[in-house]
């Protein structure tokens, strides 16, 4: 360490009614103890509180889950239709393959409509 003098420390003002806590400490936040976060105005975010990790808006959650289930159903249908369409195309049944391609386009438009249904949820 260098021999330069440290700046003077600010005046110490006790912040607790308990004398054992009113001792000078040389930490960054001297009066913040592990249990002082409840009443200390310097602490803004104390971490996850009760109910952390749960959905706070159950109506929105159920709406998003329903929309997700519909989209997944359509995607599974698209995969099935793509398999059938490619098989028919490879067999030379082009008329059936075109109907399958139309179904794929239509189901894609359904997914886009579901996505555009409520833009504020994104």
pLDDT band at 105 (very low <50, low <70, confident <90, very high): very high
pLDDT band at 82 (very low <50, low <70, confident <90, very high): very high
**What average pLDDT does the segment 9-33 reach?**
63
Q: What is the 3-state secondary structure (H, E, C) of the chain?
A: CCCCCCCCCCCCCCCCCCHHHCCCCCCCCCCCCCCHHHCCCCCCCCCCCCCCCCCCCHHHHHHHHHHHHHHHHHHHHHHHHHHHHHHHHHHCCHHHHHHHHHHHHHHHHHHHHHHHCCHHHC
**What average pLDDT does the segment 2-23 reach?**
66
> In the chain, pLDDT over 70 holds for what percent of residues?
57
**What average pLDDT does the segment 93-117 reach?**
87
Integer Cα distance of 108 and 75 in angstroms: 8
Predicted pLDDT of residue 10: 58
* Pair of tokens at residue 54: 């749960």
Q: What is the pLDDT of residues 27-73, one digit of tens each?
A: 666 555 565 445 556 666 666 666 666 666 777 778 888 888 888 89
**What average pLDDT does the segment 12-24 reach?**
64
Integer Cα distance of 86 and 90 in angstroms: 6
pLDDT band at 86 (very low <50, low <70, confident <90, very high): very high
Predicted pLDDT of residue 46: 61
């Amino acid at each position: 360490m260098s021999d330069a003098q440290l700046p003077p420390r600010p005046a110490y003002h006790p912040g607790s009614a308990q004398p054992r806590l009113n001792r000078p400490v040389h930490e960054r936040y001297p009066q913040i103890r592990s249990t002082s976060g409840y009443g200390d105005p310097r602490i803004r975010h104390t971490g996850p509180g009760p109910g952390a990790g749960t959905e706070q808006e159950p109506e929105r959650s159920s709406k998003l889950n329903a929309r997700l289930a519909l989209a997944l159903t359509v995607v599974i249908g698209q995969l099935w239709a793509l398999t059938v369409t490619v098989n028919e195309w490879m067999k030379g049944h082009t008329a059936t393959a075109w109907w399958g391609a139309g179904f794929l386009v239509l189901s894609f438009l359904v997914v886009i409509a579901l996505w555009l249904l409520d833009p504020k949820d994104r």
